[in-house]
Protein backbone atom coordinates (compact mmCIF):
# COMPACT_ATOMS: atom_id res chain seq x y z
CA UNK A 1 0.00 0.00 0.00
CA UNK A 2 3.04 2.27 0.41
CA UNK A 3 3.59 1.76 -3.32
CA UNK A 4 -0.02 2.65 -4.10
CA UNK A 5 0.46 5.87 -2.15
CA UNK A 6 3.32 6.78 -4.47
CA UNK A 7 5.68 7.78 -1.66
CA UNK A 8 3.05 9.79 0.23
CA UNK A 9 2.03 8.93 3.80
CA UNK A 10 -1.72 9.01 3.13
CA UNK A 11 -4.06 8.71 0.16
CA UNK A 12 -5.57 12.09 0.96
CA UNK A 13 -2.14 13.70 0.74
CA UNK A 14 -1.38 11.91 -2.55
CA UNK A 15 -4.75 12.92 -3.99
CA UNK A 16 -4.29 16.57 -3.00
CA UNK A 17 -0.86 16.70 -4.62
CA UNK A 18 -1.86 14.96 -7.85
CA UNK A 19 -4.47 17.61 -8.70
CA UNK A 20 -2.37 19.36 -11.39
CA UNK A 21 -2.40 16.04 -13.28
CA UNK A 22 -5.99 15.01 -12.52
CA UNK A 23 -7.35 18.40 -13.64
CA UNK A 24 -5.36 18.07 -16.89
CA UNK A 25 -6.80 14.55 -17.33
CA UNK A 26 -10.36 15.91 -17.00
CA UNK A 27 -9.65 18.28 -19.90
CA UNK A 28 -7.63 15.76 -21.95
CA UNK A 29 -8.94 15.49 -25.51
CA UNK A 30 -11.81 17.85 -24.70
CA UNK A 31 -10.33 21.36 -24.62
CA UNK A 32 -8.49 23.07 -27.49
CA UNK A 33 -6.26 26.01 -26.83
CA UNK A 34 -7.05 27.74 -30.17
CA UNK A 35 -6.90 31.52 -29.47
CA UNK A 36 -3.60 31.28 -27.63
CA UNK A 37 -1.98 29.88 -30.81
CA UNK A 38 -4.60 29.73 -33.58
CA UNK A 39 -2.30 28.76 -36.43
CA UNK A 40 -1.18 25.58 -34.72
CA UNK A 41 -4.73 24.23 -34.88
CA UNK A 42 -5.75 25.73 -38.21
CA UNK A 43 -7.64 23.45 -40.59
CA UNK A 44 -7.51 24.63 -44.26
CA UNK A 45 -10.72 26.41 -45.20
CA UNK A 46 -11.98 26.78 -41.62
CA UNK A 47 -11.57 29.94 -39.56
CA UNK A 48 -9.74 28.61 -36.45
CA UNK A 49 -11.64 31.08 -34.31
CA UNK A 50 -14.93 29.48 -35.29
CA UNK A 51 -13.98 25.94 -34.33
CA UNK A 52 -15.58 24.77 -31.10
CA UNK A 53 -12.94 24.78 -28.39
CA UNK A 54 -14.59 22.32 -26.00
CA UNK A 55 -16.00 18.93 -26.92
CA UNK A 56 -17.81 16.57 -24.61
CA UNK A 57 -18.44 13.29 -26.43
CA UNK A 58 -20.88 12.07 -23.79
CA UNK A 59 -23.20 15.05 -24.28
CA UNK A 60 -23.26 15.66 -28.06
CA UNK A 61 -26.52 13.83 -28.77
CA UNK A 62 -28.38 15.74 -26.06
CA UNK A 63 -26.92 19.25 -26.20
CA UNK A 64 -29.83 20.75 -28.14
CA UNK A 65 -32.38 19.21 -25.75
CA UNK A 66 -30.49 20.51 -22.72
CA UNK A 67 -30.30 24.01 -24.27
CA UNK A 68 -34.09 24.02 -24.64
CA UNK A 69 -34.78 22.92 -21.08
CA UNK A 70 -36.66 25.28 -18.79
CA UNK A 71 -34.50 24.61 -15.77
CA UNK A 72 -31.21 22.92 -14.91
CA UNK A 73 -31.22 21.07 -11.58
CA UNK A 74 -27.96 19.90 -10.03
CA UNK A 75 -28.59 17.06 -7.59
CA UNK A 76 -25.87 15.66 -5.30
CA UNK A 77 -24.62 15.02 -1.75
CA UNK A 78 -21.60 16.20 0.24
CA UNK A 79 -18.59 17.43 -1.69
CA UNK A 80 -20.27 16.78 -5.04
CA UNK A 81 -23.04 19.20 -4.03
CA UNK A 82 -20.41 21.82 -3.22
CA UNK A 83 -18.86 21.36 -6.69
CA UNK A 84 -22.24 22.17 -8.24
CA UNK A 85 -22.52 25.22 -5.94
CA UNK A 86 -19.13 26.48 -7.14
CA UNK A 87 -20.32 26.29 -10.78
CA UNK A 88 -23.85 27.64 -10.44
CA UNK A 89 -23.02 31.22 -11.44
CA UNK A 90 -20.94 30.12 -14.43
CA UNK A 91 -23.73 27.85 -15.70
CA UNK A 92 -26.31 30.63 -15.26
CA UNK A 93 -24.05 33.21 -16.90
CA UNK A 94 -23.23 31.09 -19.95
CA UNK A 95 -26.55 29.31 -20.55
CA UNK A 96 -29.03 31.90 -19.20
CA UNK A 97 -31.14 28.97 -18.03
CA UNK A 98 -32.34 29.06 -14.39
CA UNK A 99 -30.16 26.77 -12.26
CA UNK A 100 -31.23 25.20 -8.99
CA UNK A 101 -29.20 23.07 -6.58
CA UNK A 102 -30.72 20.18 -4.66
CA UNK A 103 -29.36 17.95 -1.95
CA UNK A 104 -30.52 14.52 -3.13
CA UNK A 105 -32.00 13.57 0.25
CA UNK A 106 -33.91 16.84 0.59
CA UNK A 107 -35.28 16.64 -2.95
CA UNK A 108 -36.69 13.22 -2.08
CA UNK A 109 -37.97 14.35 1.32
CA UNK A 110 -39.97 17.11 -0.39
CA UNK A 111 -40.97 15.08 -3.41
CA UNK A 112 -39.85 18.18 -5.28
CA UNK A 113 -41.82 18.85 -8.49
CA UNK A 114 -39.78 17.93 -11.58
CA UNK A 115 -41.04 18.40 -15.15
CA UNK A 116 -40.42 16.88 -18.55
CA UNK A 117 -38.66 20.02 -19.74
CA UNK A 118 -36.19 19.99 -16.83
CA UNK A 119 -32.63 18.72 -17.17
CA UNK A 120 -31.35 17.05 -13.99
CA UNK A 121 -27.59 16.73 -13.53
CA UNK A 122 -26.49 14.09 -11.02
CA UNK A 123 -23.02 14.79 -9.63
CA UNK A 124 -21.38 11.88 -7.83
CA UNK A 125 -17.76 10.82 -7.48
CA UNK A 126 -18.59 7.17 -6.82
CA UNK A 127 -21.71 7.06 -8.97
CA UNK A 128 -23.15 4.78 -6.27
CA UNK A 129 -24.46 7.11 -3.55
CA UNK A 130 -27.92 5.78 -2.65
CA UNK A 131 -29.58 9.16 -2.05
CA UNK A 132 -28.38 10.46 -5.41
CA UNK A 133 -29.37 7.25 -7.18
CA UNK A 134 -32.89 7.33 -5.69
CA UNK A 135 -33.24 10.95 -6.80
CA UNK A 136 -32.21 9.84 -10.30
CA UNK A 137 -34.93 7.16 -10.36
CA UNK A 138 -37.44 9.76 -9.20
CA UNK A 139 -36.40 12.36 -11.81
CA UNK A 140 -36.53 9.74 -14.56
CA UNK A 141 -40.04 8.78 -13.54
CA UNK A 142 -40.97 12.49 -13.78
CA UNK A 143 -39.75 12.47 -17.40
CA UNK A 144 -36.73 14.77 -17.02
CA UNK A 145 -33.58 14.42 -19.10
CA UNK A 146 -30.96 12.99 -16.72
CA UNK A 147 -27.24 13.72 -17.04
CA UNK A 148 -24.49 12.09 -14.95
CA UNK A 149 -21.22 13.69 -13.83
CA UNK A 150 -19.30 10.80 -12.28
CA UNK A 151 -15.78 9.53 -11.70
CA UNK A 152 -16.62 5.86 -12.04
CA UNK A 153 -17.21 4.22 -15.42
CA UNK A 154 -19.99 1.63 -15.21
CA UNK A 155 -21.34 2.91 -11.87
CA UNK A 156 -25.08 2.83 -11.14
CA UNK A 157 -25.50 6.55 -11.88
CA UNK A 158 -23.35 6.40 -15.04
CA UNK A 159 -25.41 3.46 -16.33
CA UNK A 160 -28.84 4.86 -15.54
CA UNK A 161 -28.56 8.46 -16.77
CA UNK A 162 -29.45 9.35 -20.40
CA UNK A 163 -26.02 10.87 -21.06
CA UNK A 164 -23.10 12.20 -19.10
CA UNK A 165 -19.52 13.12 -18.43
CA UNK A 166 -16.77 11.07 -16.85
CA UNK A 167 -14.49 13.40 -14.93
CA UNK A 168 -11.49 11.04 -15.39
CA UNK A 169 -9.79 12.00 -12.11
CA UNK A 170 -8.71 8.39 -11.46
CA UNK A 171 -9.82 6.28 -8.47
CA UNK A 172 -10.19 8.33 -5.30
CA UNK A 173 -9.34 6.31 -2.16
CA UNK A 174 -9.30 8.87 0.69
CA UNK A 175 -12.74 9.12 2.30
CA UNK A 176 -12.50 12.93 2.16
CA UNK A 177 -12.99 13.91 -1.47
CA UNK A 178 -10.30 16.24 -2.85
CA UNK A 179 -9.26 15.65 -6.46
CA UNK A 180 -12.79 14.66 -7.47
CA UNK A 181 -14.05 18.06 -6.26
CA UNK A 182 -11.69 20.08 -8.46
CA UNK A 183 -12.29 17.81 -11.47
CA UNK A 184 -16.06 18.08 -10.98
CA UNK A 185 -15.80 21.89 -11.12
CA UNK A 186 -13.71 21.66 -14.30
CA UNK A 187 -16.15 19.17 -15.89
CA UNK A 188 -19.28 21.19 -15.07
CA UNK A 189 -17.58 24.36 -16.33
CA UNK A 190 -16.77 22.56 -19.61
CA UNK A 191 -20.39 21.43 -19.84
CA UNK A 192 -21.54 25.06 -19.48
CA UNK A 193 -19.08 26.07 -22.22
CA UNK A 194 -20.48 23.41 -24.57
CA UNK A 195 -24.07 24.42 -23.82
CA UNK A 196 -23.33 28.06 -24.71
CA UNK A 197 -21.36 27.33 -27.87
CA UNK A 198 -24.23 28.56 -30.06
CA UNK A 199 -24.32 31.96 -28.31
CA UNK A 200 -22.16 34.42 -30.26
CA UNK A 201 -22.62 37.02 -27.52
CA UNK A 202 -20.83 34.75 -25.04
CA UNK A 203 -17.87 33.99 -27.24
CA UNK A 204 -15.40 36.35 -25.60
CA UNK A 205 -16.42 35.20 -22.13
CA UNK A 206 -16.03 31.57 -23.20
CA UNK A 207 -12.55 32.26 -24.57
CA UNK A 208 -11.48 33.88 -21.28
CA UNK A 209 -12.63 30.84 -19.32
CA UNK A 210 -11.04 28.37 -21.74
CA UNK A 211 -7.71 30.24 -21.70
CA UNK A 212 -7.81 30.08 -17.90
CA UNK A 213 -8.69 26.35 -18.01
CA UNK A 214 -5.55 25.76 -20.07
CA UNK A 215 -3.41 27.39 -17.39
CA UNK A 216 -5.20 25.82 -14.44
CA UNK A 217 -2.92 22.78 -13.91
CA UNK A 218 0.12 25.10 -13.61
CA UNK A 219 -1.73 27.43 -11.27
CA UNK A 220 -2.72 24.52 -9.02
CA UNK A 221 0.90 23.30 -9.05
CA UNK A 222 2.01 26.73 -7.90
CA UNK A 223 -0.66 26.80 -5.19
CA UNK A 224 0.58 23.49 -3.76
CA UNK A 225 3.89 25.22 -2.92
CA UNK A 226 2.01 26.85 -0.02
CA UNK A 227 2.21 23.50 1.80
CA UNK A 228 4.89 24.53 4.33
CA UNK A 229 3.10 27.76 5.20
CA UNK A 230 -0.17 25.87 5.68
CA UNK A 231 1.46 23.23 7.87
CA UNK A 232 2.76 26.04 10.09
CA UNK A 233 -0.71 27.56 10.23
CA UNK A 234 -2.21 24.17 11.14
CA UNK A 235 0.26 23.92 14.04
CA UNK A 236 -1.05 27.26 15.35
CA UNK A 237 -4.69 26.16 15.04
CA UNK A 238 -4.52 22.51 16.07
CA UNK A 239 -5.83 22.92 19.62
CA UNK A 240 -8.83 25.05 18.68
CA UNK A 241 -12.32 23.64 19.15
CA UNK A 242 -13.91 25.43 16.26
CA UNK A 243 -13.25 27.60 13.23
CA UNK A 244 -15.41 29.46 10.73
CA UNK A 245 -15.01 29.72 6.95
CA UNK A 246 -16.40 32.87 5.31
CA UNK A 247 -17.01 33.30 1.59
CA UNK A 248 -19.62 34.66 -0.79
CA UNK A 249 -20.54 34.32 -4.45
CA UNK A 250 -18.77 31.33 -5.96
CA UNK A 251 -16.56 31.09 -2.90
CA UNK A 252 -19.45 30.34 -0.59
CA UNK A 253 -18.88 26.85 -2.02
CA UNK A 254 -15.21 27.12 -1.01
CA UNK A 255 -16.24 28.03 2.54
CA UNK A 256 -18.73 25.13 2.74
CA UNK A 257 -16.30 22.61 1.26
CA UNK A 258 -13.42 23.76 3.48
CA UNK A 259 -15.63 23.44 6.57
CA UNK A 260 -16.72 19.95 5.49
CA UNK A 261 -13.07 18.87 4.98
CA UNK A 262 -12.00 20.21 8.39
CA UNK A 263 -14.86 18.62 10.33
CA UNK A 264 -14.87 15.26 8.56
CA UNK A 265 -11.19 14.44 8.98
CA UNK A 266 -9.81 16.57 11.84
CA UNK A 267 -13.02 16.43 13.97
CA UNK A 268 -12.67 20.16 14.64
CA UNK A 269 -16.04 21.88 14.47
CA UNK A 270 -16.16 24.10 11.43
CA UNK A 271 -18.93 26.00 9.70
CA UNK A 272 -19.10 27.49 6.24
CA UNK A 273 -20.81 30.87 6.29
CA UNK A 274 -22.08 33.00 3.41
CA UNK A 275 -20.48 36.35 4.20
CA UNK A 276 -23.57 38.03 2.73
CA UNK A 277 -25.45 36.73 5.77
CA UNK A 278 -22.81 37.83 8.30
CA UNK A 279 -24.84 40.64 9.80
CA UNK A 280 -27.88 38.39 10.13
CA UNK A 281 -26.41 36.30 12.95
CA UNK A 282 -22.84 35.04 12.55
CA UNK A 283 -21.38 38.40 13.64
CA UNK A 284 -22.48 37.52 17.19
CA UNK A 285 -19.84 34.75 17.27
CA UNK A 286 -16.91 37.04 16.52
CA UNK A 287 -14.34 37.57 19.27
CA UNK A 288 -10.54 37.63 19.48
CA UNK A 289 -10.30 33.83 19.90
CA UNK A 290 -12.44 32.07 17.29
CA UNK A 291 -10.37 31.61 14.10
CA UNK A 292 -12.13 32.81 10.93
CA UNK A 293 -10.80 31.98 7.48
CA UNK A 294 -11.98 34.66 5.05
CA UNK A 295 -11.88 33.77 1.34
CA UNK A 296 -11.44 37.10 -0.43
CA UNK A 297 -9.78 36.62 -3.80
CA UNK A 298 -10.08 39.16 -6.64
CA UNK A 299 -13.30 37.95 -8.20
CA UNK A 300 -16.51 39.97 -8.49
CA UNK A 301 -16.97 39.72 -4.69
CA UNK A 302 -13.64 41.37 -3.89
CA UNK A 303 -14.80 44.79 -2.72
CA UNK A 304 -17.65 43.29 -0.70
CA UNK A 305 -15.21 40.86 0.97
CA UNK A 306 -12.82 43.73 1.75
CA UNK A 307 -15.76 45.34 3.58
CA UNK A 308 -16.44 42.07 5.43
CA UNK A 309 -12.81 41.92 6.58
CA UNK A 310 -12.94 45.49 7.84
CA UNK A 311 -16.11 44.77 9.80
CA UNK A 312 -14.57 41.63 11.33
CA UNK A 313 -11.41 43.60 12.21
CA UNK A 314 -13.53 46.31 13.85
CA UNK A 315 -14.87 43.56 16.17
CA UNK A 316 -11.40 42.23 16.93
CA UNK A 317 -11.96 39.05 14.92
CA UNK A 318 -9.11 36.56 14.68
CA UNK A 319 -8.71 36.29 10.91
CA UNK A 320 -6.82 34.19 8.42
CA UNK A 321 -7.15 35.84 5.01
CA UNK A 322 -7.05 33.94 1.72
CA UNK A 323 -6.22 36.41 -1.07
CA UNK A 324 -4.53 36.61 -4.46
CA UNK A 325 -0.78 36.98 -4.94
CA UNK A 326 -0.97 40.40 -6.57
CA UNK A 327 -3.54 41.84 -4.16
CA UNK A 328 -1.60 44.69 -2.52
CA UNK A 329 -4.82 46.29 -1.33
CA UNK A 330 -5.59 43.21 0.79
CA UNK A 331 -2.04 43.07 2.14
CA UNK A 332 -2.48 46.71 3.24
CA UNK A 333 -5.82 45.97 4.93
CA UNK A 334 -4.41 42.97 6.80
CA UNK A 335 -1.30 45.05 7.65
CA UNK A 336 0.70 42.19 9.16
CA UNK A 337 -1.92 41.65 11.88
CA UNK A 338 -3.15 38.30 10.54
CA UNK A 339 -1.77 35.40 8.51
CA UNK A 340 -2.44 35.83 4.80
CA UNK A 341 -2.48 32.92 2.34
CA UNK A 342 -1.78 34.18 -1.18
CA UNK A 343 -2.86 32.10 -4.18
CA UNK A 344 -2.46 32.65 -7.95
CA UNK A 345 -5.24 34.52 -9.71
CA UNK A 346 -7.27 32.68 -12.36
CA UNK A 347 -10.57 33.46 -14.09
CA UNK A 348 -13.48 34.05 -11.67
CA UNK A 349 -15.14 30.89 -13.01
CA UNK A 350 -12.18 28.77 -11.80
CA UNK A 351 -10.86 30.66 -8.77
CA UNK A 352 -12.72 28.23 -6.47
CA UNK A 353 -10.50 25.41 -7.78
CA UNK A 354 -7.34 27.23 -6.70
CA UNK A 355 -8.85 28.49 -3.44
CA UNK A 356 -9.79 25.08 -2.06
CA UNK A 357 -6.21 23.75 -2.37
CA UNK A 358 -4.69 25.47 0.72
CA UNK A 359 -7.84 24.61 2.69
CA UNK A 360 -7.58 20.92 1.73
CA UNK A 361 -3.97 21.10 2.93
CA UNK A 362 -5.10 22.78 6.16
CA UNK A 363 -7.59 20.00 6.92
CA UNK A 364 -4.95 17.38 6.12
CA UNK A 365 -2.31 18.88 8.44
CA UNK A 366 -4.80 19.65 11.23
CA UNK A 367 -5.76 15.97 11.20
CA UNK A 368 -2.25 14.51 11.30
CA UNK A 369 -1.19 17.03 13.98
CA UNK A 370 -4.25 16.14 16.07
CA UNK A 371 -3.28 12.48 15.70
CA UNK A 372 -6.17 11.09 13.66
CA UNK A 373 -6.24 8.80 10.64
CA UNK A 374 -6.95 11.10 7.72
CA UNK A 375 -7.84 8.30 5.31
CA UNK A 376 -10.35 6.58 7.60
CA UNK A 377 -12.40 9.10 9.59
CA UNK A 378 -14.65 7.56 12.23
CA UNK A 379 -18.33 6.96 11.34
CA UNK A 380 -17.89 7.84 7.65
CA UNK A 381 -17.83 5.76 4.47
CA UNK A 382 -16.37 6.61 1.08
CA UNK A 383 -19.53 5.58 -0.65
CA UNK A 384 -22.83 5.74 1.24
CA UNK A 385 -25.01 3.06 -0.30
CA UNK A 386 -27.91 3.29 2.18
CA UNK A 387 -30.55 6.05 2.31
Nearer to ligand G6P, 4 or 171 (CB): 171
- Asked if residue 105 binds ligand G6P (CB under 6 A), the reply is no
In the complex, minimum distance from the CB of residue 142 to ligand G6P, in angstroms, rounded to a whole number: 21
Q: What is the spatial distance between Cα 369 and Cα 364, in angstroms, rounded to a whole number?
A: 9
Least Cα distance to 124 among 175, 72, 83 occurs for 83
Position 161 contacts ligand G6P (CB under 6 A) = no
CB of 228 to ligand G6P, least distance (A): 26
**Residue (103 or 283) nearer to ligand G6P, CB:** 103
Q: Classify burial at 382, counting beta carbons within 10 Å of its beta carbon; exposed 0-12, middle 13-18, buried 19 or more.
A: middle
- Does 339 sit near ligand G6P (CB under 6 A)? no
Could you say whether residue 183 binds ligand G6P (CB under 6 A)? no
Q: Is the dihedral of CA 363, 364, 370, 373 positive or negative?
A: positive
Q: Which is nearer to ligand G6P, 32 or 263 (CB)?
A: 263
| 160 CB-contact burial (10 Å; exposed 0-12 / middle 13-18 / buried 19+) | middle
Of 80, 251, 297, 368, the one binding ligand G6P by CB under 6 A: 80
Q: How far apart are CA 84 and CA 81, in angstroms?
A: 5
User: Rule CB under 6 A: is residue 77 a binding residue for ligand G6P?
Assistant: yes
Which region among 120-128, 230-238, 246-254, 333-341 touches ligand G6P (by CB under 6 A)? Answer: 120-128
User: Closest distance between ligand G6P and the C-beta of residue 88, in Å?
Assistant: 17
126 binds ligand G6P (CB under 6 A): yes
Rounded CA-CA distance 4/7 in Å is 8
Q: Which is nearer to ligand G6P, 78 or 247 (CB)?
A: 78
Q: Is 215 in the site for ligand G6P (CB under 6 A)?
A: no
Euclidean distance between CA atoms 163 and 377, whole angstroms: 34
Closest separation between CB of residue 356 and ligand G6P, Å? Answer: 13
Q: Hey, which residues between 229 and 258 contact ligand G6P (CB under 6 A)?
A: none
Q: Supply the minimum distance, in Å, between the C-beta of residue 78 and ligand G6P.
A: 3
Distance from the Cα of residue 247 to its chain's centroid: 13
Ranges of beta strands (E only) in the chain are 71-76, 99-103, 118-124, 145-150, 163-166, 242-247, 269-274, 291-295, 318-324, 340-343
Amino acid sequence: SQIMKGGYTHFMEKEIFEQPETIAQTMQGRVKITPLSPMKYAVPGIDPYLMPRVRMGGLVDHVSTIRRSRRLMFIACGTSYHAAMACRQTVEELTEIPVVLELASDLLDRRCPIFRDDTCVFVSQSGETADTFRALEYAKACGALCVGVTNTVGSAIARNTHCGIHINAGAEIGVASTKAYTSQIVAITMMALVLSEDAISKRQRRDEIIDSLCQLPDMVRRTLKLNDQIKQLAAELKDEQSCLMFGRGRNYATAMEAALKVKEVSYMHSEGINAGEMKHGPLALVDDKLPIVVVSTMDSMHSKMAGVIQQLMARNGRLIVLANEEDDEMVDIVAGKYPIIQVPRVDDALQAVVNIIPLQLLSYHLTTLRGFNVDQPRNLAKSVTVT
